[in-house]
Amino acid sequence: MSKKHQIFISISLPIQWLLVRLLGRYPEWVEYVYSQKIYPLIALILQSLWNWVPFSVGDIFYLSLIIGIIYIGYNTLKKRQSISNVLLTFTTYLSLFYFTFHLFWAINYYRLPLYQSMDLEAEYSTEELYTTTLKLLQNTNALYTELSEETQQLEIPYSRKEIREQASEGYLTFSKNVLPINRKPKSIKNSLFSLSISYLGYGGYFNPFTGEAQVNARVPKTIYTVIATHEQAHQLGYAAENEANFIGVLASIKNPDPYFQYTGYAYGLRYCLNELGRRDKKLYQEIYPLLEDGVKEMYRNQSEFWRQYDSKIEMYSKYIWDSFLKASQQKEGIMSYSYIVALLVNFDKKHPDIFQ
């Protein structure tokens, strides 16, 4: 690449940043033009390109990127290039990265909030939270009793490959008047870095450059299912973490397979129980004993899984991710994950039969 081209690409970086900020002021345009028309075409092309590959092409891309950065850095030191040339090379690649990241996916961060596009209320009362929590608990208990067959610890009888193949089925059952989803997300794979992301505290991630969804192969199957549907929500263009969590729960609940339904209800229930305990300990202490012992044991096992990977690395990685989310108009950062509760409760208010 000539120096003239590098200068042009580098200068475009602040212009790109301003354009993205400007798009953030027009969420309706982003929603109806980019998220619902342009992005689905991009996703279809990317997933068609890489869905047939049995491993994560995106992970190979990231690994190659890291090696490339190290190689460029080594050559820079070896050849003793000037600081101006180093900065020019850095800003050139950063500009290309920024452009591709936003064009391929990240503009979705600026679409309409899901509660607005679904015409849901923004607030809810503790009594409404209790009602939704009780519904989720009753469904979780009923499915646990049906599937456990008198054994205390319910096991998911599928391989992780079978779970990935089945995960998208729930998306086809969404009614068009609930969510504008009429296609199955594809290209979901185990992460090649499952051990590393376990220490970072992540269950999965989405690669916007290849359209692949990666799931941590080490997590228990009882959350592997919902992590899979969560990452598929990102594939469909729902960038906000709380929204992807909510959609992932719905996709699991609406899946025709009862094991997916069970893990979906249990996943949503855990968020609601935590929020109920924060708001009203008396109500929490009233409802929690109603939960089947086997479900409680499942929650303990999930918590124990993450505890074995506790590290300072996770703290720093979560800080970086939190900063990124806030820079992408998710004001609560990582804490926005908890707003799945508001979506669940207000969705239940509007569609009271959905959790029956």
* Nearest CA among 305, 335, 311 for reference residue 321: 335
pLDDT tens per residue, range 130-146: 999 999 999 999 999 99
Q: Which of 110, 131, 151 is a domain's end point?
A: 110
- Mark whether 160 and 181 lie in a shared domain: yes
Q: Which of 110, 133, 151 is a domain's end point?
A: 110
How confident is the model over 178-192, as a mean pLDDT? 82
- Mark whether 133 and 40 lie in a shared domain: no
Residue 179: per-residue pLDDT: 76
- Mark whether 93 and 130 lie in a shared domain: no
Tell whether the model's pLDDT for residue 167 goes beyond 60.
yes
323-to-102, 211, 316, 332, 354 alpha-carbon distances in Å:
17, 23, 11, 10, 35
Position 219 in a domain: yes
Tell whether the model's pLDDT for residue 75 goes beyond 90.
no
Query: 3-class SS at 7?
Result: helix
How confident is the model over 311-316, as a mean pLDDT? 56
How confident is the model over 30-36, as a mean pLDDT? 94
Tell whether the model's pLDDT for residue 58 goes beyond 80.
yes
How confident is the model over 289-318, as a mean pLDDT? 81
Position 61 in a domain: yes
- Mark whether 175 and 50 lie in a shared domain: no
pLDDT band at residue 174, thresholds of 50, 70 and 90?
confident
pLDDT tens per residue, range 273-282: 999 999 999 9
pLDDT band at residue 152, thresholds of 50, 70 and 90?
low
Tell whether the model's pLDDT for residue 332 goes beyond 60.
no
How confident is the model over 156-170, as a mean pLDDT? 93
From 53-62, 126-135, 305-314, the region with the lowest mean pLDDT: 305-314
Tell whether the model's pLDDT for residue 353 goes beyond 90.
no
Position 81 in a domain: yes
- Mark whether 76 and 126 lie in a shared domain: no
Residue 111: per-residue pLDDT: 93
Structure tokens at 339: 């707003």
Q: How far apart are CA 163 and CA 232, in angstroms?
A: 13
How confident is the model over 201-229, as a mean pLDDT? 95
- Mark whether 96 and 122 lie in a shared domain: no
* Nearest CA among 231, 165, 180 for reference residue 40: 180
Tell whether the model's pLDDT for residue 334 goes beyond 50.
no
- Mark whether 160 and 279 lie in a shared domain: yes
Pairing of strands 212-215, 188-190: parallel
Position 281 in a domain: yes
151-to-121, 147, 261, 293 alpha-carbon distances in Å:
41, 9, 19, 11
- Mark whether 22 and 122 lie in a shared domain: no
pLDDT band at residue 315, thresholds of 50, 70 and 90?
low
- Mark whether 88 and 118 lie in a shared domain: no
Residue 66: per-residue pLDDT: 87
**Domain membership of residue 204 as a residue range:** 114-350
From 41-55, 306-320, 325-339, the region with the lowest mean pLDDT: 325-339
From 95-104, 112-121, 326-335, the region with the lowest mean pLDDT: 326-335
Tell whether the model's pLDDT for residue 199 goes beyond 80.
yes
Position 142 in a domain: yes
Position 179 in a domain: yes
* Nearest CA among 275, 267, 224 for reference residue 247: 267
Tell whether the model's pLDDT for residue 109 goes beyond 80.
yes
Tell whether the model's pLDDT for residue 331 goes beyond 60.
no
- Mark whether 101 and 129 lie in a shared domain: no
Residue 7: what residue type? I
Tell whether the model's pLDDT for residue 155 goes beyond 90.
no
Q: For the chain, what is the mean pLDDT?
A: 87
Residue 312: per-residue pLDDT: 58
Q: Which of 110, 141, 158 is a domain's end point?
A: 110
Residue 18: half-sphere exposure toward Cβ, Cα within 13 Å: 5
- Mark whether 199 and 323 lie in a shared domain: yes
Residue 335: per-residue pLDDT: 45
Residue 315: half-sphere exposure toward Cβ, Cα within 13 Å: 3
For the chain, how many structural domains are there in total? Answer: 2
Residue 74: per-residue pLDDT: 75
Position 356 in a domain: no
Report the percent of the chain where pLDDT is more than 70: 87
Position 355 in a domain: no
With 0-12 / 13-18 / 19 or more C-beta atoms within 10 angstroms meaning exposed / middle / buried, residue 285 is exposed
How confident is the model over 52-63, as a mean pLDDT? 92
How confident is the model over 289-304, as a mean pLDDT? 93
- Mark whether 269 and 197 lie in a shared domain: yes
